[in-house]
Structure 1
Amino acid sequence: MRVLLILAHPRPDSLCGALASAYREGAAQAGVTLRSLVLGELEFARDVCADSPENQPLEPDLAAARDDLVWADHLVFVYPTWWGTMPALLKSFLDRLVMPGLAFRFYGPGAAEWEGLWQGKSAQLITTMDTPPPIYRWLFKAPGHNAMARATLGFCGVRPTRILHFGPVRTSTPAKRARWLEKTRAAGFALRAGVHSPLGRAWQRAKPWLAALRLQFYPMSWAAYSLGAVAVSASLDWVLFLWGLIAIALLEAATVFSNERLDLATDRANANCGPFTGGSRVLVDGKIDPSRLRFATGLLLIGVLAVAALVLTLAPAPWVTALWMSIAAVTTLGYTAAPLKLSYRGLGELDVAFTHSALVVVLGGLLQGATLFEPVLWLVSAPLALAILPSIILAGVPDRPADQSVGKRTLAVRFGHLSAFKLAAISVAAAAGLGLAFERMHVAGGAYEGVAGFVIAHATLALGLLWWYAHKPAQKLQRIDGLLVALLTYMLWFVLIPWINLA
């Protein structure tokens, strides 16, 4: 591990200087590679006089410090807290060197988005103060800690940032200061096991996999599955219900992993990625190796087969259930996998609408004893499928340039973004119209009773947003997260209201 120790007290012979020496001693015992900066000994202009810090020439001392910041894996700042925050010396150092191109970058329309360039680095803050630490934290809300850990280092992608604060200094005894020094030395020695605790290291290993799973998309299919179950049974077979839910979760995870790997080319080309578009980025950013993701996909598919085999031994109609689960595997994996590659043929949107509505709704009913063509299952699936389509269609709008570059023929690619907005609007209106018709006609066992009060308002909002976004120039459609949230939540009414009425 490469550690940069930065002493930011104007007087090196201060208590902060002693703390820096203690940390250096512990880090040396830990066997890390350490460099030191004593800011009070550096010669540089304290103010940013250019229009932006990257446009101001760096003095030799700052140029060397810049190289040290780039070199380091772990940044350690030792400084006094004066008037609630860092001293002017440290603030000047950060003003000059924490700049675009080195610590972060702006991008997107109007350069309104940013990305930290220090991701992968971690930090330790060691600060002294005269304010009692509990008062500083709870009454004053720790302004200096937040300025360093969140507004500065966090903005640049540094995580985690741990904090040691010692005080009050003015009334401290020699014995207390000795304990502070020992605690600081121990913090340096703790680098022997790395920055993260065992739990933290496990979390760091798990985070890319959790990101790859894209868990934000699972609840919708789970809710639709449960709707199918309650639509046909007043008393659920909970064992069968839960095993079916596990099969769906494993199949969806395998599909997401497969999509991530097979869509790597378009994800690499995608400059407009967001929480709902552009994949999870774990392969693009090198956080997971493609071969490991392929292996994990295989394990998940083995799990799907094992759980499906168990489900079929318990299912009331095993042959029909086996047929339906086979269709589920083909249509979900076929979204990107050969030979179907539905998302590359302009059929991906319809595939997602089907798999997240009728497919799981009917499976939920089958496992509770319904027949394949039970009317209530297909009736509740129809408005839901229409409500799902708008968000899936428009997710292709920000991805359109990247998808087009690799031959992925989403509806946004095939017909253009304006037609995509029109199709989404038609789907929103059709879902609302069908839901209101079902309410008036009292079909599906009264599943849609009371839906009008929710769907009309949400559909009006969705159509208004669609009109507004459709009139934006194409370069303003690189991120449409707000619109996608409005459309994703729209579909909830077509699960929640029937679920309440039928349960």
Structure 2
Amino acid sequence: MNVLCILGHPRPDSFCGALADAYRDGADEAGAAVRELAVADLEFDPDVHAESPTDQPLEDDLQTAQRDIEWADHLVFVYPNWWGTMPARLKGFFDRVFEPGFAFAEYEDGEGAGHEELLDDKTAELIVTMDMPPWVYRWIYRQPGTNAVKHATLGYAGVRTTRVTELGPIESSTLEEREEWLAEVEALGRGLGSGPESRTARATRKAGAWLGALRLQFYPMAWLAYTIGALAAGGSSGVFSSNAYWLGLGFLVFLEAATVFSNEYYDYETDRQNTFAGPFTGGSQVLVDDALSFRELRTGIGIAVALTGVFGVSTVAASAGSTVTTASAMVGLAVLALGYTAPPLELSYRTLGEVTVAWTHSVGVLLIGFVALGGSWQTPYPWLLGVPFLLSVLPSITLAGVPDYAADRAAGKRTIAVRFGIDRAAMVAMVTALLAALTASVWYWQGVVPEAYGPAIYLSMPHALGLCWLLHRRLEDAAGPQRIDGLMAASLSYIAWFAVVPLLGLL
């Protein structure tokens, strides 16, 4: 491991200097290759006088500092906390060295959202001294300087801070306390032999990666549709005490997990090229960011599929309806869900992905809930109940192809947006949103699905009209791919009318 230890104190012979030496000694013992850099010894102007840092030539020492940072795998910053933040000279070092083109790159219009992190292959840790108890700085002052370095500076460049060690108060400390701190920091350097972060931190980060890969924000719509179907068949009194209901819910949870994991796996190429990824589009990026490996994800897919099978068989066994019908509905749903990106079906690559997602998150799961609780698939009720739900899902899944447009097109993924253009994708979203509100309103007005819909469903029409207005103002083919987080939130929240209203009506 290549380690660059950067001393940010203006006086190299300070206690911070002794801490930097202690860390270096520990890192040497761990077998790391260590370079040292004292900001105080560098000859440079800490102020940016030009309009952009790139317009101000770097001094020789700063050019060397950039080369050292590029060489390093792990950056260690040792500095004092003055007036709640770092010393001015260290701030000037960041201003000059972390310039565009070295630490980050801004996207041009149409190239991506935000910026590209150019130092995302590095980790860092901060060792900060202060003249107050660290708990006061952390909990009372909310550690503004640490946050500035960790998130606004290093984080902006893609550097992941693995550890922050805050020591103090220094001025009133005893010799014994300072010796303990030196020993503690030397142990931190020695710990590099097992990596730049603790086992607990690694486990926590890995758990966070799996949690992100699960994409839990998309589960509720399927759960609600399933519960609506179960209530429609079994009535509110017996559903939640039924083993079939809870086993079926487990089946859906693990099927959804298997689906999102397989999507992450087979959509890697489009996710890798996607510069407009957001909370609702572009996947979780766990493979792209190396948070999980392909092997780990394959293992996750296998476990999720196995548990899907276990809960599926258990649901069929506990079903109050026809076992053949329940099993057929569950197998059909699983094939469609996994076939969204997985070969050989690869439905999302054949302009069938949007319809598949709409079906598997509305009618498909609603029907399973209905037949598992004793209903008959030949009854029109679950199908009619699922139509508005299906239509309401189509706007959001169709719009999800807009930010992904360029990446999907490059990877050969034939979404509606890729095949017909962004303006026509917007038109599909408008039409299906209006049809969902109109269908549900007619169902209530004509009593097509008794008890499921109430007068509140009429409020879905203003939401649909508002969504259409936003789409008309925001999306056109000439605009190209773009982040549309607001539109995605508006379209996903639109589904709530067709999930919550019938759910409350059937309870």
Structure 2 length-normalised TM: 0.91
Q: Which one is further off, 461-470 or 405-414?
A: 405-414
Following the alignment from structure 2 to structure 1, what is the Cα–Cα distance between the partners of residues 265 and 464?
35
Q: Is the 8 A contact 1:32 1:192 kept in 2?
A: yes
Identify if the C-alpha distance between structure 1 residues 296 and 148 changes in structure 2 by more than 3 Å, giving closer, same or farther. closer
Q: Determine the structure 2 residue equivalent to 1:54.
A: 54
Following the alignment from structure 2 to structure 1, what is the Cα–Cα distance between the partners of residues 209 and 189?
28
Following the alignment from structure 1 to structure 2, what is the Cα–Cα distance between the partners of residues 50 and 425?
48
For 1:259, which of 233, 244, 263 is the aligned residue? 263
Following the alignment from structure 1 to structure 2, what is the Cα–Cα distance between the partners of residues 262 and 161?
30
One-letter amino acid of the structure 1 residue matched with residue 154 of structure 2: L
Q: Determine the structure 2 residue equivalent to 1:346.
A: 351
Residues 61-100 of structure 1 mapped to structure 2, 5 A cutoff: 61-100=61-100
For 1:243, which of 241, 247, 269 is the aligned residue? 247
One-letter amino acid of the structure 1 residue matched with residue 361 of structure 2: H
Following the alignment from structure 2 to structure 1, what is the Cα–Cα distance between the partners of residues 70 and 256?
40
Number of residues paired by the alignment? 502
Determine what percentage of the aligned residue pairs are the same residue: 47
Q: Is the 8 A contact 2:423 2:477 kept in 1?
A: no
Identify if the C-alpha distance between structure 1 residues 128 and 333 changes in structure 2 by more than 3 Å, giving closer, same or farther. closer
Following the alignment from structure 2 to structure 1, what is the Cα–Cα distance between the partners of residues 137 and 309?
57
One-letter amino acid of the structure 2 residue matched with residue 114 of structure 1: H
Following the alignment from structure 2 to structure 1, what is the Cα–Cα distance between the partners of residues 372 and 138?
54
Residues 59-458 of structure 1 mapped to structure 2, 5 A cutoff: 59-107=59-107, 109=109, 113-233=114-234, 234=236, 235-236=238-239, 237-290=241-294, 293-294=297-298, 296-316=300-320, 317-452=322-457, 454-458=459-463
> Secondary structure at 1:118's aligned position in 2?
coil
Q: Is the 8 A contact 2:113 2:275 kept in 1?
A: no
| 1:232-268 C-alpha deviation (Å, 9 max, x unpaired) | 2231243222221222222223233333333344334
Q: Is the 8 A contact 1:375 1:444 kept in 2?
A: no
> Secondary structure at 2:223's aligned position in 1?
helix
Q: Which one is further off, 205-214 or 455-464?
A: 205-214
Q: Is the 8 A contact 2:434 2:461 kept in 1?
A: no
Structure 1 length-normalised TM: 0.91
Q: Is the 8 A contact 1:29 1:189 kept in 2?
A: yes
Identify if the C-alpha distance between structure 1 residues 55 and 125 changes in structure 2 by more than 3 Å, giving closer, same or farther. same
> Secondary structure at 2:377's aligned position in 1?
coil
Q: Is the 8 A contact 1:73 1:121 kept in 2?
A: yes
Following the alignment from structure 2 to structure 1, what is the Cα–Cα distance between the partners of residues 172 and 296?
56
Identify if the C-alpha distance between structure 1 residues 454 and 73 changes in structure 2 by more than 3 Å, giving closer, same or farther. farther
One-letter amino acid of the structure 1 residue matched with residue 355 of structure 2: L
Following the alignment from structure 1 to structure 2, what is the Cα–Cα distance between the partners of residues 164 and 402?
41
- Unmatched 5+ residue regions in structure 2? none
Following the alignment from structure 2 to structure 1, what is the Cα–Cα distance between the partners of residues 332 and 339?
10
| 1:414-472 C-alpha deviation (Å, 9 max, x unpaired) | 32221211111111111111222222233323211132364234223212211111358
> Secondary structure at 2:47's aligned position in 1?
coil
Q: Is the 8 A contact 2:154 2:161 kept in 1?
A: no
1:384: Cα distance to partner? 0.5
Q: Is the 8 A contact 1:442 1:449 kept in 2?
A: no
> Secondary structure at 1:446's aligned position in 2?
coil
> Secondary structure at 1:34's aligned position in 2?
strand
Q: Is the 8 A contact 2:438 2:461 kept in 1?
A: no
Following the alignment from structure 2 to structure 1, what is the Cα–Cα distance between the partners of residues 207 and 447?
48
Following the alignment from structure 1 to structure 2, what is the Cα–Cα distance between the partners of residues 115 and 454?
42
| 1:194-241 C-alpha deviation (Å, 9 max, x unpaired) | 332222222333444444433322222122112211222231243222
Following the alignment from structure 2 to structure 1, what is the Cα–Cα distance between the partners of residues 113 and 304?
39
For 1:464, which of 469, 477, 494 is the aligned residue? 469
One-letter amino acid of the structure 2 residue matched with residue 446 of structure 1: E
Identify if the C-alpha distance between structure 1 residues 298 and 366 changes in structure 2 by more than 3 Å, giving closer, same or farther. same
1:496: Cα distance to partner? 0.9
Following the alignment from structure 1 to structure 2, what is the Cα–Cα distance between the partners of residues 347 and 295?
27
Q: Is the 8 A contact 1:127 1:166 kept in 2?
A: yes
Identify if the C-alpha distance between structure 1 residues 131 and 50 changes in structure 2 by more than 3 Å, giving closer, same or farther. same
- Unmatched 5+ residue regions in structure 1? none
What value does the CA root-mean-square deviation take over the aligned residues? 2.5
Identify if the C-alpha distance between structure 1 residues 82 and 195 changes in structure 2 by more than 3 Å, giving closer, same or farther. same
